[in-house]
Amino acid sequence: MCLSEKYHLNTIRKIIARWAPECENNTKAYIYYVAKQVGCNECDPLPSPKMAPAVWKKLAWAMFEVEAGRKNVGASMEQDEYEKGGTALCERVPPWLW
* pTM for the predicted model, two decimal places: 0.68
* Greater pLDDT, 80 or 16: 16
Does the pLDDT of residue 84 top 80, yes or no? no
Which tens digit of pLDDT belongs to each residue from 42-62?
999 999 888 888 998 999 999
pLDDT of residue 1: 57
Q: How far is it, in rounded angstroms, from Cα 96 to Cα 37?
A: 20
For residue 15, count other CB atoms closer than 10 A to its CB.
23
Q: pLDDT at position 24, please?
A: 83
